[in-house]
Amino acid sequence: MKRKLYASQLEDPYLQSNFYVIGDEFNNNPFLKGSWRFIEFSLTTTGTGVLIPHRLAYTPLDLLVISVRGGTITVRYDLFDANYIGVDATVTTAPLKVRAFVGRYSEDTIGV
């Protein structure tokens, strides 16, 4: 859903200018495009199809992995649903720790 800042309706030129700057930032920064939640999880054993709760109110489409320590993961997008994301995990040094952003990237951001 494209959101709109109605900068042209503001009478104060400084406020109007600031709204345009804010809109440009949302439109040009990829991390502000979409809806993201930061998650961290740990696993102690190797597993296939491991389900991790994401606590979003929708099924995410994207997982931006920031770091993986103590093993490797393969993201299983086919297991994503309204409650969980799925991974295959190989633990080499327990616990395997993962930090990531989960959500949906969208080109529809802020219009000014």
Q: Is the dihedral of CA 35, 21, 14, 12 positive or negative?
A: negative
pLDDT value of position 34: 80
2 plus 52 within the same structural domain: no
**Domain range enclosing 84:** 34-106
Extract the tokens encoding 76.
């299983």
Q: Is 112 within the bounds of a domain? A: no
In the numeric block, the tokens 């939640």 are attached to 37
pLDDT value of position 5: 67
Contact 8, 15 (CB under 8 A): no
Average pLDDT of span 65-73: 98
pLDDT value of position 23: 80
Q: Is 61 within the bounds of a domain? A: yes
Q: Is 1 within the bounds of a domain? A: yes
48 plus 2 within the same structural domain: no
More confident residue, 102 or 35: 102
Q: Is 39 within the bounds of a domain? A: yes
5 plus 39 within the same structural domain: no
Bridge-based pairing state of the strands 96-104 and 35-43? antiparallel
45 plus 86 within the same structural domain: yes
The 3-state secondary structure of 45-62, one letter per residue: CCEEEEEEECCCCCCCCE
Closest C-alpha to 43, from 98, 82, 80, 109 = 98
Q: Is the dihedral of CA 58, 79, 51, 34 positive or negative?
A: negative
47 plus 12 within the same structural domain: no
pLDDT tens string 11-66? 888 888 888 888 888 777 777 778 889 999 999 999 999 999 999 989 999 999 99
Helix (H, G, I), strand (E, B) or coil at 36: strand
Please state the domain count of the chain. 2
The amino acid that residue 75 corresponds to is V
29 plus 42 within the same structural domain: no
pLDDT tens string 6-19? 777 888 888 888 88
Overall pTM > 0.85: no
